[in-house]
């Protein structure tokens, strides 16, 4: 598999605040599903925001060979579909269908093509027939699915998701994990849900203090109790009793 996402020495300091990213370098191959894990304040969400130019980080970002710059910003945001943690940050129009149509319409696509892509996106996330509903009429799980649907019509190369299972009941959480797996997309998932990371992702990156502390197979990293404790994490419940000390 080819390298799809290239991040080199990415750094960002919040105005008047801490240094959130300190020289992060990361490569993600096409088709990989990568979990970004770490304690609160580790830099996970900051990294996702920097990938699409929402934070002016130093360093370089390339997606499919295209470097993030002022004149490529629109294309980078097409190639990386960012799904925020809070659906209220993603859904802002009167109906779900309008929210999902917003991105492809901004791309200048013909109306028939926009409708086709909206229909495909709603079917992909299991919301076919619900496009006419206002976002606040949906359940928590449906709102998260709708948030994901808003980025699919741009046909992104990478899906970047911030805490996609937070606040979901067990059934909705299972549905979300299955949906992300079935999409067959390259994933970069910032999460505290290590059980989800074990089930969904083939790679985990531990961020702490704005730097990469470990990178490897989720089962191998999460089984290392000393590593987990050192970076403010816990061995997942399904693995307790098997972790080395």
Helix boundaries (H) for 30-169: 44-51, 73-79, 96-106, 111-124, 140-151
What pLDDT was estimated at residue 241?
65
- The DSSP bridge partners found for residue 209 are none
What pLDDT was estimated at residue 17?
87
Question: CA–CA separation, 121 vs 98, rounded Å?
Answer: 12
Q: Is 200 inside any structural domain?
A: yes
Q: In the predicted model, is pLDDT for residue 87 greater than 90?
A: yes
What pLDDT was estimated at residue 240?
78
Nearest to 215 by CA among 240, 188, 245, 195: 188
Q: Tell me which residue range forms the domain holding 134.
A: 3-239
Q: Is 245 inside any structural domain?
A: no
| Per-chain mean pLDDT for the chain | 95
pLDDT average, residue stretch 214-226: 97
Q: In the predicted model, is pLDDT for residue 243 greater than 90?
A: no
Question: CA–CA separation, 54 vs 152, rounded Å?
Answer: 19
Q: Which tokens is 18 given?
A: 């801490």
- Tell me the pLDDT tens digit for each residue of 177-193: 999 999 999 999 999 99
Q: Is 110 inside any structural domain?
A: yes
Q: In the predicted model, is pLDDT for residue 129 greater than 80?
A: yes
- Tell me the pLDDT tens digit for each residue of 103-112: 999 999 999 9
Portion of the chain with pLDDT greater than 70, in percent: 98
Q: 112 and 143 in contact (C-beta within 8 Å)?
A: no
CA distances from 227 to 70, 208, 233 (A): 39, 11, 8
Q: In the predicted model, is pLDDT for residue 24 greater than 60?
A: yes
Quick check: pTM over 0.75?
A: yes
Q: Is 76 inside any structural domain?
A: yes
Domain count, the chain: 1
Domain at 143, CATH number: 3.40.50.300
What pLDDT was estimated at residue 1?
56
Question: CA–CA separation, 212 vs 207, rounded Å?
Answer: 5
What pLDDT was estimated at residue 2?
78
Question: CA–CA separation, 10 vs 24, rounded Å?
Answer: 5
pLDDT average, residue stretch 45-57: 97
């Amino acid at each position: 598999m080819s390298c799809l996402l290239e991040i080199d020495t990415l750094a960002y300091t919040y105005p008047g605040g801490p240094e959130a990213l300190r020289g992060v370098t990361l490569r993600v191959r096409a088709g990989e599903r990568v979990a970004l894990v770490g304690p609160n304040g580790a830099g996970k969400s900051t990294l996702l925001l920097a990938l699409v130019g929402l934070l002016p980080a130093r360093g370089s970002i390339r997606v499919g060979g295209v470097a993030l710059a002022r004149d490529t910003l629109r294309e980078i945001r097409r190639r990386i579909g960012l799904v925020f943690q809070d659906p209220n940050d993603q859904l802002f129009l009167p109906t779900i269908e309008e929210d999902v149509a917003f991105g492809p319409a901004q791309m200048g696509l013909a109306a028939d093509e926009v409708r086709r892509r909206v229909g495909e996106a709603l079917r992909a996330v299991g919301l076919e027939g619900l496009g006419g509903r206002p976002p606040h009429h949906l359940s928590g799980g449906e709102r998260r699915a709708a948030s994901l649907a808003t980025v699919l019509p741009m046909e992104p190369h990478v899906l970047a998701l911030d805490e996609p299972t937070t606040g979901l009941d067990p059934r909705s959480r299972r549905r979300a994990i299955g949906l992300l797996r079935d999409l067959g997309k390259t994933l970069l998932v910032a999460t505290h849900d290590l059980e989800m990371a074990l089930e969904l992702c083939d790679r985990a990156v531990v961020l702490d203090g704005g730097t990469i502390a470990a990178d490897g197979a989720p089962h191998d990293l999460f089984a290392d109790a000393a590593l987990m404790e050192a970076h403010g994490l816990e061995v997942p419940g399904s693995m307790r009793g098997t972790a080395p000390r």
